[in-house]
Every structure is written in C-alpha cells, then in structure tokens.
Chains A and B, each alone.
Chain A
C-alpha cells in the first residue's frame, strides 16, 4: 500500500514539478509573447497594412483608376513574362541538379552545392552589374551584339537573365536535401522491376519530391516577380517597354504619384500574401505525407 501511495504521490509531484521547472511562469509567458508580437506588429504588420492604406487613401475610384494606365499594364505584362521564363528555366535546372547530386556520388559535390547557392550571396545590384559587364555596350560581347543588332542590356532579355540569376538556387536548394533524404532505394526497386529511367523519374522520384518542388517554385516565383535591384541595373527604365512592376512603382513614387505607386504595390503585396498562404499549405501537406 505504502509503495503505491508513494508512487502515486511522487507521480503527481513530478507531473506538477516538471512543467514548473522547465516552463516559465505565466506572467513571463505573457510578457515575452506580448513583446514578440509587438515587435512583429511594428516591423511586419504595420508596413503591410500601410501598402493598402496608402493605395486606398483617395478612395476606391482613385485606386482602380491607377490601373487604367497603359504603362502599368505593360509593366504587369513584362513581370509575368520574366517570371514565366525564369521559373521554368530554374525548375528544369533544379530537377537536373538534384537528380545528379542526390542520386549519385561524385567528387566535388559539396563544392557544387555551394556554387549553386552563390547567387543568394551576391547583392542584387551586383547581379545586374555582371550582365552589363558581359552583354553591355562596353562589355565582352557588346561590340559583337551591336554589330548584329541584338539588344540584351536595357531590353527584355537582360531583365530575364538578371531574374534567372537572382532566382537560380530556389528550386535546387529545396529539392537537393529532400531527395538526398529520400535516398535511392525506391528508384533501384523501380529499375530492377523493369522500369525505364524516365518511368522511374516520373512515377517514383517526382511524386516523392512534389511538395519540395512546389515549395521551391512558389518561392522562386515570388522573387522573380518582385526582384528590384538586379532588374533595375539592366532595364534602362524605358517606360512601357522595359519596366517591370517594381520598377514602375519606383517611377510613380518618384513622381509623387503615391496612390498609383501603392496601388501597383498592393498587387505585389497580395502576391506576397498568396505566396505565404500557399507556402504554409505546402508545409502542412508535406508534414502530413511524412506522418503517414
């Protein structure tokens, strides 16, 4: 009897004592949560809300009138074009790179992974500058390009190239660790059961990696549509021709046309929110599939 009593007693005591020893008092929890939320509110929520408040400052009519502008329209079109080329390009690269890196062993692999991450370490401004040095009028191929009447810098191809550079690692860096963790057993099984390489890739590898792939594409797209510094260097800011949405925002803002600037900005802010929602959904889905 005594032993049961003591064990019950001690159990109750540990049940009480454990949270008390490794958890913080209620007032500390409230205080820390409050400070953290205040910090996030001040630095994240306030600027986000300001975008919409400034865009709607002169009412809905002025807001929608801002989009009745051929330059804004062509900026939206160019942004979509740049993303439509750079995201698939980096998607194909990401899949190829992660297949080579995750499914085979070879020397210099970790160097290759570091090099793939390199564009993240480069300032956006420098990302644009290097393409000017290669394709610009004074660049390596400048004279040859102008002889053949090909324009890359201060034209759409330069914008696409700069966008590809800044979004280069997104898909690869999501897929590589995921596919490395998944190993090669399932692929070996498929091959030994007579599947071809492509069949193995489409039926085994891709379904396994789909959430990582989707995740990378979402982030890649958000950056592609929002890139400012790199694109600013190579664009030449020709209104209606080489302005993307972020560059168009800058022009409107510098002309003190604040409502129109924030109206275009609000579209990109909505894109950012959609990106965050999709990202959370993918994380949740991925968690679920892993738990199964």
Chain B
C-alpha cells in the first residue's frame, strides 16, 4: 500500500500507459488480429487445403530445414567467435567486434545481392566451388548461406555477456582438482553456457524462419526445392489469393509465437542459472 502511494508521486502514469496501449493496439495488435480473423472465415477443409498442399508443405520443409541448419552452424561458430572475442587478445579486436553486428545493420536486400555475387558461378567464392560440383547460388545451399549470414550476431551477442561474467574461480578449481583443459571446458564451462547457447540458437532460428529479403535473390525461388514459406505468401498475394496467403501466414505466426514463448522461458532459465 505504501509503495503504491509512494509511486504515484511521479506524474504521467495514466497518460504514458494509455498512449502505449493505444499505439500498441493500433500498430501491432489490431493488424495482427486481422490475419487470424481472416482465417476464421474459412472452413476447416479450406484452411487445410491452403496450408497443407504439397507445394506449401515443401516450402515449410525448406524454411524450417534451412533455418535449423543455419542456426546450428551459427551456434557452433557463434560460440567460437564469442569465445575468441572474450578470451583472446588480438589486433583489430574492436573492429571485429563491431563488425559482428553487420547483419543487423546491412539491409537484407543488399545482403541478398551481395551474397549472390560472391557465390555465383563467376563470383569470388563460387568460381572455386562450382568446378567441384558445389552449387551455392540458386540452390538449397544458397538459402542456408543467406540464413547463416542473417543469424550470425544472435548467438555471439547472447553468449558474450555470459562468457564475460563466468567466474574464473570455477575454472581454477577444476584445474586444481586435476581436470585437463578440455575437461574443464566440456564439464565446467559449456554447462554454464548451455541456456545462453540454446537462447542464441532459438533467436537465430526464429529470425531465419521469417527472413525474406536476403533469401529471394540467392535461392532462385524454385517451387518444391528452394521456395521458402514467406516467398510463397508473396506469390499467393500477387495472384490475389488472399485467403491462401493469410492461411500460410497464420501457420508461420503460430510457429513464431511458440518460438517467442520458448525464448522467453529460456531467458528466464538462463537468468536463474546465473543468479545461482
């Protein structure tokens, strides 16, 4: 009771909270609910036909598969990059550290055409891969490369603060008790990082799932093979199939919200882990 009256000393609560909820509703909640309400107008069999046709199922497979692969690679290399940035000194470290955020700052369309240029048949990397039968641009690997680029900062930025706060005493204790360096890392360090690693993975996966701009240029957009779900939504829209587009969007939205919930739980777990 006393804390309530104390807090009301500061003015503006009603105004700012009212504006926050109004603006949130206007920009986010009402338009988002439009997607769900639109699908309520469909019969169940219409909905199933729209979200489970072979071409749509193939697009989920591409989206989820490539996102999973990209987030996994990012989990491994993100761990490595975070580890190197936190633990080892080397020249130009601050520039490298800043550069990690490039995928956040570089517009996705720019990333898309740049990656395509690098991995095309005559590109800087593509010219060495194609003779060996590895086709990156305009193939499934291209989707994976674009999604890896997009998700790169998430694992690094989630792990970095946790790595910085690791207590050196634990490592020293492990070493004193006779653990080898590798044992210390796998038994002492990695378990402490585990919640953060999973959070980073989930964030990169969620981002990759919805990504559009960087993928459309490099993937070649072949139905059943490299067509991602967000692209299929746009294709349906361009054919004025609003119901079909909305139905796929609702499936993807539900997947995103489940992931968001999972990420929130992971972050709570991570925080609790670290307080202990």
Give A residues with C-beta under 8 Å from B: 18, 21-24, 29, 32-33, 35-37, 39-40, 42-48, 50-51, 54, 93, 96-97, 99-101, 103-106, 112, 114-119, 121-126, 129-134, 136, 138-140, 161, 164-165, 168, 184, 187-188, 191-192, 197, 200-201, 219, 222, 225-229, 232-233, 245-247, 249-250, 253, 261-262, 265, 268-269, 271-273, 275-277, 279-280
Contacts of A37 in B (CB 8 A): 84, 96
Mask, B117-155, CB within 8 Å of A = 1, is 110000111000000000000000000010011001000
Interface segment among B44-52, B99-107, B193-201: the answer is B99-107
Q: A50-B124, A253-B113 are in contact. Are A123 and B30 (CB under 8 A)?
A: no
Minimum distance in angstroms from B108 CB to a CB of chain A: 5
Of all chain B residues, the one with the shortest Cβ separation from A110 is: B264
CA–CA, A37 to B234, complex, Å? Answer: 37
CA–CA, A136 to B246, complex, Å? Answer: 13
A32–B80 contact, CB under 8 A?
A: yes
B149–A47 contact, CB under 8 A?
A: yes
Of all chain B residues, the one with the shortest Cβ separation from A229 is: B212
- Asked whether B187 is an interface residue with its Cβ less than 8 Å from the other chain, the reply is no
Contacts of A47 in B (CB 8 A): 111, 114-115, 117-118, 149
Q: A36-B81, A44-B103 are in contact. Are A126 and B3 (CB under 8 A)?
A: no
B117–A116 contact, CB under 8 A?
A: no
Contacts of A114 in B (CB 8 A): 260, 264
Contacts of A129 in B (CB 8 A): 35, 233, 237, 245-246, 249
29 pairs across A/B with beta carbons < 8 Å? A21-B172, A21-B175, A39-B80, A43-B152, A48-B106, A93-B20, A97-B16, A103-B13, A112-B24, A114-B264, A117-B260, A118-B260, A121-B260, A125-B231, A126-B253, A133-B38, A188-B10, A219-B105, A226-B105, A228-B107, A232-B212, A233-B234, A246-B109, A253-B217, A262-B113, A268-B106, A268-B107, A275-B105, A276-B99
Q: A40-B81, A129-B246, A280-B94 are in contact. Are A48 and B114 (CB under 8 A)?
A: yes
Q: A43-B149, A44-B99 are in contact. Are A265 and B210 (CB under 8 A)?
A: no
Contacts of B246 in A (CB 8 A): 129, 133
Secondary structure at the A interface, as helix, strand, loop or mixed, is helix
The listed residue (B20, B38, B100) touching A100 by CB distance below 8 A is B20
Q: A105-B3, A133-B38, A275-B105 are in contact. Are A115 and B84 (CB under 8 A)?
A: no
B185-237 contacts to A (CB < 8 Å):
206, 209-213, 217, 230-231, 233-234, 237
Q: Which of B109, B234, B249 has the most CB of A within 10 A?
A: B109
Q: Could you say which interface size class chain B belongs to? A: 35 or more
Known contacts A112-B21, A124-B230, then 18 further A-B pairs from the complex at CB < 8 Å, ordered by chain A residue: A36-B85, A40-B96, A44-B103, A47-B115, A97-B16, A118-B28, A121-B259, A133-B246, A188-B6, A188-B9, A222-B105, A228-B213, A233-B237, A246-B108, A249-B113, A265-B113, A272-B107, A276-B105
The listed residue (A54, A122, A253, A275) touching B253 by CB distance below 8 A is A122
Q: A43-B148, A46-B124, A100-B17 are in contact. Are A124 and B210 (CB under 8 A)?
A: yes
B31–A133 contact, CB under 8 A?
A: yes
B20–A97 contact, CB under 8 A?
A: yes
B28–A226 contact, CB under 8 A?
A: no
CA–CA, A105 to B5, complex, Å? Answer: 11
CA–CA, A249 to B94, complex, Å? Answer: 31
CA–CA, A269 to B217, complex, Å? Answer: 17
- Asked whether B53 is an interface residue with its Cβ less than 8 Å from the other chain, the reply is no
A122–B256 contact, CB under 8 A?
A: yes
- Asked whether B64 is an interface residue with its Cβ less than 8 Å from the other chain, the reply is no
Minimum distance in angstroms from B104 CB to a CB of chain A: 7
